[in-house]
Amino acid sequence: MDTTEDIPARMPEHIATAVDLVKAYQQGPAQVRALDSVTVGFARARFTAIAGPSGSGKSTLLHCLAGLDSATSGQVTLGETELTGLSDRELTRVRRDKVGFVFQSFNLLPQLTALENIVLPVTLTGRHLNGDLLDHLVGVLGIGDRLSHRPAELSGGQQQRVALARALLARPVVVFADEPTGNLDSQSGAEVLDLLRRSVRDLGQTVVMVTHDPRAAGYADRVVVLADGRVVDDVDGADGGDVMRALQPAGRAR
């Protein structure tokens, strides 16, 4: 793991870290800090939720951790790679090789079948396609009879299962999920959250999910709560009640 001296000693097992992370935007004469000196780490093979009200900075934190957005100051480390200061080309390579993404909007290519969408990232990079893992994911996700269908022919829940298979197939260092149940009904959302949890338990995958929903956060092993760009609570081994109580102070802070 990363031995960079700037990473606090308490974070040696973390697969992704942010240290004194600041993300600031200029709004007219004022500077707004979407992230205000955030220091947090995310452990390998655990399901962590980043929760908080709208505008708390949770999606900004995820985007910085994933190399989708640059920090104003501070340090972001993914695996053994320090992201701060990398070029756009280097960040693209990190995202391609180390990160899986699951988005609220699914982000499937409409002209491709479900199977073609799943294998596309592996195909584009020329890496070996693990057929056994593909078969396992298709079976676990229950999409074996939908592989020849295009996204428009799939329900929202089925599309998100395809997106999850795509994210997991390359065995990334971490899967970042940004409001993955936001466009799903409650039953489909619960199924996707359970599948994310099973990917951690059965595959040893690391998952970091952003959500504003306490029920969704309750599926995680740990919940990091943000408000006004700062970490205001960190609940380990949370259940739904724990998450609801942790989010209440964040809500009042807004």
212-234 pLDDT, tens digit per residue, is 888 899 899 999 999 999 999 99
CA atoms of 61 and 38, how far apart (whole Å): 9
CA atoms of 107 and 159, how far apart (whole Å): 9
For 2, the 3-state DSSP assignment is coil
pLDDT at residue 3, rounded to an integer:
39
pLDDT category, 26, cuts 50, 70, 90? confident
The mean pLDDT value for 165-176 works out to 92
User: Cα dist. 38→22, 55, 125 in Å?
Assistant: 7, 15, 33
β-partners of residue 48 are 208, 222
pLDDT at residue 28, rounded to an integer:
79
- Enumerate the domain spans of the chain: 44-67+85-253
In this predicted structure, the answer to whether residue 181 has a pLDDT above a threshold of 60 is yes
For the stretch 97-144, pLDDT in tens is 889 999 988 899 999 999 999 999 888 887 888 899 999 999 989 999
What is the residue-averaged pLDDT of the chain?
A: 87
The mean pLDDT value for 182-204 works out to 91
* Bridge-based pairing state of the strands 174-178 and 99-103: parallel
CA atoms of 162 and 58, how far apart (whole Å): 25
Does the pTM exceed 0.95?
A: no
**Do the beta carbons of residue 33 and residue 24 sit within 8 Å?**
yes
Per CATH, domain 44-67+85-253 is 3.90.930.60: no
pLDDT at residue 4, rounded to an integer:
40
* Nearest one of 13, 51, 48 to 244, comparing CA atoms: 51
